[in-house]
Structure 1
Amino acid sequence: MSDTGLDVFDKTLQKTHIWLDELMQERPNCSKQEAWHTLCATLRTLRDKLPADLAAHFAAQLPLLLRGAFYEQYDPAQQPMPLRSQEEFLQQVKSTPGMIERVDADTVSAVLRVVSRQVDPGLTDKLRQALSEETRSLWAA
């Protein structure tokens, strides 16, 4: 028996929980709520730094629930936003509405490691290459 009565909802909840659980393993003192906010803020910041077509390819590999969060308040006409530094990337993550956890480079790197494990490796390489060299260092290969 499913929790929601709709298989598509149950599957996206299960897949989203896998992402959150992986992030919580990476960041042991992180609650599920903090993991959700950190994951969404990092995904949205990444989205804003990508060309629209690459962001769409990335979104297609996200669980449906995360895909909705990824596209929340998205304006493809404004993309990609210029990316000048790693600190700028981190500042955008920190300033995302709903952020409740102190975010640092290690936290963002943890999210990007989860992305690397959950998304096709070829796409992961394209995402990494779309970032500035300094910001790419957050995303250890």
Structure 2
Amino acid sequence: MRDRLPIDAAVHFGAQLPTLIRGVYYEGWDPHPTPVKFDRQEYLNRFCYETSLAEENAEKAVRAVTGALFLHMPPEQLGHVFNALPHGLRSLITPAV
């Protein structure tokens, strides 16, 4: 998600994360080509690659990660971040209600 957000939204979101998670979030990040343009399927493919998950588990895992964020971060903050994403990607990462 970080690489798909505009730089200011990615940094603002990262600042809200707990210290340990923030380190993982920023590890290896090069903000110069941000935001990287990719669609829903490309996002899932990249998620699978970076997490070593099988493709059939990707969408469920993405929703679980996002659900955990909703438990630990203010919904207004997440709403601001998610609104900066394209609709197709936003519908993937927003937990089912």
Deviation string, structure 1 residues 53-75 (Cα, Å, up to 9, x no partner): 11111111111111011001111
Pairwise CA distance, 1:127? 1.4
Structure of larger gyration radius: 1
Matching residue within 62, 69, 89 for 2:17: 62
Q: Which amino acid aligns with 1:110?
A: A
Residue 37 of structure 2 is matched in structure 1 by 82
Aligned Cα root-mean-square deviation (Å): 1.4
Q: State, as a whole percentage, how many aligned pairs show the same letter.
A: 33
Larger relative CO (CA 8 A, sep 6+): 1 or 2? 2
Residue 104 of structure 1 is matched in structure 2 by 58
Pairwise CA distance, 1:100? 3.5
| Alpha carbons 2:3, 2:36 under 8 Å: kept | yes
1:53 aligns with 2:5: no
Q: List structure 1 segments (4+ residues) > 6 angstroms apart after TM superposition.
A: none
Matches within 5 A, 1:28-39: none
TM-score (norm 1): 0.61
Within 1, Cα distance between the matches of 2:42 and 2:52?
Answer: 19
TM-score (norm 2): 0.85
